[in-house]
DNA sequence: TTGCTCCTCACGTCACGTGAGGTGGC
DNA sequence: TTGCTCCTCACGTCACGTGAGGTGGC
């Protein structure tokens, strides 16, 4: 079989078949009288083997070794190829993300492209200081970049700066992070809720209210503090739970106090608090925190409850209740 | 600033800085008396611009144009880069899949690698005939490759051959496709259920029973036929539904007949069938199919029901009921 | 004088495509 | 004779690394 037909049948160009010959990869069995390369069926099978190995990303040199050297085992090379391919895949994915971000900014000139790329480099720098500096620089960071950065930032200071910048950016900040409240990754949901907590407006409130039923406790707690501050009593059970568990309990108690400016709501919160205080499973430290939380409630409701706790069987609770009841009395009388 | 310091500050090798100079990309502003390249701060800024654009995948030639030619707009090039990157990403992903499959087969020699790659090419060939031929060839296809192919095969004939090969492969076939019953993609779940339907054993039955509550109706129906055949009465409502809707109704009726060999089950199925027949919303064609299905039920139960339908207000139903009741009488007496 | 940095020129990498210039078989 | 296939040799691609051989400033 002459080289042209082999090329047709195998899909390998005549140029490459000659190259394989020169490298010694596939030497045609014979030559015609006119010095034409003459391939046997066995040669052609070998060409297909070469192409098979090429489809796995082996270099021609590696293919040569694989087909010649019996001591050259596949295992090491294959796992090496896997590692390298994973690497390239990751880099290509990062490149694509970068390109999409640039494209989304609809640059009119290459200067615009350079601006975005530099911002991007700053925001994804391994140095937290550099990231911080990029956020706080004079050039405002586009909202979508801020949102993206917020959802992946692990350094608390930089995260704070990013949230501040997002809040300053205005209305579209909410839209940019809102969808992340429904992300699969809990860490992303937490960051989204923290960012939304600092953004005003009904839209943010609505999404935060959704987050009250999140599967992740930290998300629920961030949402409860934010939503409670905005006057939604649906946050009350989570806030009481925070006091019981001792996570951000002081802040939670304050928010409950704010919510209690509404009389109906105050009644319901008092019921929750006294229920937890009376629970047989309540641990002493939790009962102390609950007692302290009562002081944030409206005096007419809190005072009788504290009065009742002054002869609690836990002496610490009794002591705190006595003290707080005194403070409330002064407040009422003074 | 001399070239060495520029290289340090920018991270670009002196070799490349000279190359940029030769290409005219970044020409250092001056030369020292000793003919050393002398870069200005402006030159260095330009180097960073070049690196920014390189991080987007532009070639040096494209960077030259971008920085020189004001008419060379980013938009076209950027979307072109995106398209090419998506392409490469896809190819890299396919390569990685191939490599992982090869690695999973733990090849000891390159011949083993070649075998797997050729099977893989055969199974993913765009030609259905080629795929079919690969499945039916003498060399048995490893179970995991069969499973993968089954879940993506769209040609019904090839799919049938794949399921047949999987059933012949023995026990680990179930394990290989079972998890796909919980895949997100409904088409994959359908294929998994169809494959499991042809596999014997309690494990397959358990997974198929799970699929009875799938959100996709086709998945539920395939599961109901399979699970019903294996004697699980939980499939009955779906099977009756298939008769009402006229999808695979004959087969569904047969399976209901088999289930009715158990007297308790027969009573429940009769209740479902007569309930549907009496439903005020039942369409005429559905009532005909339900009437026909009664003939598959045990004669002592089916006969009175058919007798009652002989004076149905739908004359077609009445006619069929009369005829089937006659057949049953013959069967009872004969 | 010794190290160091810089210079230019040029080859090698890797898998090819694309000629140029020439020849053999129908 | 004409068109086709084949031959060898060799340059170009693209972003580099790595010399060789030489020079200027501390």
User: Residue A281's pLDDT is what?
Assistant: 85
In A, which residues are within 8 Å of B85 by CB distance? 92, 95-96, 99
- Residue B234 DSSP class: G
User: Residue B156's pLDDT is what?
Assistant: 95
Q: Which residues have Cβ atoms closer than 7 angstroms to strand D?
A: A 2-5, 7, 14-15, 18, 35-37; B 13, 15-16, 19, 32-35, 54, 59-61
Where does B105-201 have alpha helices with state H? 110-123, 128-136, 143-152, 156-169, 172-178, 186-197
Tokens of A69: 């050297």
Q: Which residue pairs, CB below 8 angstroms and at least 24 apart, start in A275-278?
A: A276/A240, A276/A243, A276/A244, A277/A309
Tokens of A11: 């899909």
A36: nearest nucleotide, CA–C1' criterion: D6
Tokens of A235: 């946050």
Q: What is the pTM of this model?
A: 0.82
Q: How far apart are alpha carbons A228 and A206 in whole angstroms?
A: 12
User: Does the pLDDT value for residue B275 go beyond 80?
Assistant: yes
User: Among the listed ranges A136-145, B124-133, B206-215, which one has the minimum average pLDDT value?
Assistant: A136-145
User: Does the pLDDT value for residue A9 go beyond 90?
Assistant: yes
User: Residue A329's pLDDT is what?
Assistant: 86
User: Does the pLDDT value for residue B245 go beyond 70?
Assistant: yes
Q: How far apart are alpha carbons A181 and A183 in whole angstroms?
A: 6
Q: Which residue has the tokens 């259905």?
A: B128
In tens, the pLDDT along B196-207 reads 999 999 999 999
Average pLDDT rounded to a whole number, residues A177-186: 93
Name the percent of chain A lying above pLDDT 70: 100
Cβ-in-10-Å burial (0-12, 13-18, 19+) of A255 comes to buried
Name the percent of chain B lying above pLDDT 90: 87
User: Residue B155's pLDDT is what?
Assistant: 95
- Residue A235 DSSP class: G
| φ/ψ bin of B186: left (φ > 0), alpha (ψ from -120 to 50), beta (otherwise) | alpha
Tokens of B92: 């890299």
Closest CA to A93 of B96, B95, B100, B86: B86
User: Does the pLDDT value for residue A170 go beyond 80?
Assistant: no
Average pLDDT rounded to a whole number, residues B102-121: 94
Q: How far apart are alpha carbons A243 and A239 in whole angstroms?
A: 7
- Angle between helix axes B110-123 and B143-152 (nearest 10 degrees) is 20
User: Residue B169's pLDDT is what?
Assistant: 84
User: Does the pLDDT value for residue B270 go beyond 70?
Assistant: yes
* Per-residue confidence band for A328, with pLDDT thresholds at 50, 70 and 90: confident
User: Does the pLDDT value for residue B334 go beyond 70?
Assistant: no
Neighbours of B281 (CB within 10 A): 6
Among chain B residues, CA nearest to A66? B110
Name the percent of chain A lying above pLDDT 90: 86
In tens, the pLDDT along A62-94 reads 999 999 998 899 999 999 999 999 999 999 999
Cβ of A91 less than 7 A from strand C: no
In A, which residues are within 8 Å of B93 by CB distance? 89
Nearest 5°: phi and psi at A106? 45, 60
**Chain A residues with a Cβ under 8 Å from any Cβ in chain B:** 49, 52-53, 55-57, 66-67, 70, 72-75, 78-79, 81-82, 85-86, 88-89, 92-93, 95-96, 98-100, 102-103, 106-110, 112-114, 117-118, 121
In tens, the pLDDT along B35-65 reads 999 999 999 999 999 999 999 999 999 999 9
In A, which residues are within 8 Å of B11 by CB distance? none
Q: How high is the mean pLDDT of chain B?
A: 93
């Amino acid at each position: 079989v002459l080289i042209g037909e082999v090329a047709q049948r195998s899909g390998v160009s005549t140029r490459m078949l000659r190259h394989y010959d020169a490298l010694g990869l596939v030497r045609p069995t014979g030559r015609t009288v006119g010095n034409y390369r003459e391939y046997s069926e066995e040669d052609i099978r070998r060409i297909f083997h070469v192409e098979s190995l090429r489809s796995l990303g082996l270099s021609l040199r590696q293919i040569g070794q694989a087909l010649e050297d019996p001591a050259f085992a596949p295992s090491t090379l294959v796992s090496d190829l896997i590692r390298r391919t994973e690497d390239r895949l990751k880099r290509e994915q990062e490149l694509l993300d970068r390109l999409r971000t640039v494209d989304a900014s609809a640059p009119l000139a290459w200067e615009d492209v350079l601006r975005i790329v530099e911002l991007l480099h700053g925001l994804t720098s391994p140095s937290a200081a550099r990231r911080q500096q990029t956020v706080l620089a004079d050039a405002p960071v586009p909202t979508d970049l801020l949102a993206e950065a917020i959802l992946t930032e692990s350094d608390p200071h930089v995260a704070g700066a990013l949230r501040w910048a997002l809040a300053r950016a205005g209305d579209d900040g909410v839209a940019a992070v809102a969808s992340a409240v429904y992300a699969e990754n809990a860490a992303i949901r937490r960051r989204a809720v923290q960012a939304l907590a600092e953004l005003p407006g009904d839209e943010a409130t609505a999404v935060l209210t959704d987050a009250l039923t999140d599967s992740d406790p930290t998300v629920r707690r961030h949402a409860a503090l934010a939503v409670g501050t905005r006057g939604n009593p649906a946050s009350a059970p989570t806030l009481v739970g925070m006091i019981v568990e001792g996570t951000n309990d002081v802040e939670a108690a304050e928010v409950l106090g704010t919510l209690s400016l509404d009389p109906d709501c105050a009644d319901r919160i008092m019921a929750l608090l006294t229920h937890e205080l009376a629970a047989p499973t309540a641990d002493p430290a939790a009962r102390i925190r609950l007692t302290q939380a009562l002081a944030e409630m409206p005096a007419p409701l809190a005072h009788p409850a504290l009065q009742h706790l002054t002869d609690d069987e836990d002496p610490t609770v009794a002591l705190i209740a006595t003290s707080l009841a005194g403070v409330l009395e002064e407040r009422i009388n003074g």
